[in-house]
Amino acid sequence: SRAPLQAPYRPAGKLEAAIARAAAALVPDGATVEFGIGALPDAVCGALGGHKDLVIHSGAVGDGIVELLQRGVARQVDAAMLVGTRKLYDFARDNPAIRLRSCEYTHNPRVLGTLERFVAVNSAVEVDWTGQVNGEAARGSYVGAVGGAPDFIRAANQSPGGLSIIVVPAARVVERLSGPVSVPRSEAGVVVTERGAADLRGCTLAERERRLRQISGSS
């Protein structure tokens, strides 16, 4: 059999670290947390080091989960796939704390509906001033599919004690999206940049714009 493909791990820079710290501060102990793969999700993993009794429930997870499990921050991981380096794959082998499940389980609304304090942390290409999210296209080219983000975000919004968090650099909080609407403004929760957090829940469109401009590059 062939060795699994490896996705290089890139340590968080100052920008990612600042965003991750602000996002991690919104995650309560004992939460079930979803995040994807990439520099920002890995940075969020690193920023959760002071938490306890977390469960990870995600579509894909990367190297960041290794330290969370080793340090006892997280006690269980349910995911559809692992995308990382040999460090992750070796750690996951025969590890009962890591359970690989099908997408029919990890993304199933009935399963997600049973999760309390479900916190969905998802990155974005850009967010507009109404709270709409583009997670697919940058500079006219598609960089990814919608994936499970809408499923997890909706579940987090409906979960008792749950929360949807969108992490994005301040420069990418814009007046109008340049690409498709991947997540509608009706599902807006909290948007986090390196400049702080904007809670959009229960806000008028005018108030959303005011809060988002405060944490954007145009403030």
- Flag the least confident range among 76-80, 165-169, 215-219: 215-219
Q: What is the CATH number of the domain that holds 52?
A: 3.40.1080.10
**Residues, the chain, total?**
219
- What range defines the domain where residue 88 resides? 14-214
CA–CA distance, 86 with 180 (Å, rounded to integer): 35
User: Tens digits of per-residue pLDDT, 174-185?
Assistant: 999 999 999 999
- Is 52 within a domain? yes
- Flag the least confident range among 125-129, 139-143, 192-196: 139-143
- Is 177 within a domain? yes
Specify whether the CB–CB gap between 84 and 10 falls below 8 A.
Answer: no
Total count of domains within the chain: 1
SS (H, E, C) 9-63: CCCCCHHHHHHHHHHHCCCCCCCEEEECCCHHHHHHHHHCCCCCCEEEEEEEECC
- Is 207 within a domain? yes
User: What's phi and psi for 179, nearest 5 deg?
Assistant: -135, -165
What number of other Cβ atoms are within 10 A of residue 198's Cβ?
A: 26
User: Tens digits of per-residue pLDDT, 142-178?
Assistant: 777 778 899 999 999 999 999 999 999 999 999 999 9
- Is 149 within a domain? yes
Average pLDDT, the chain: 93
Instruction: State yes or no: pLDDT of 48 exceeds 80.
Output: yes
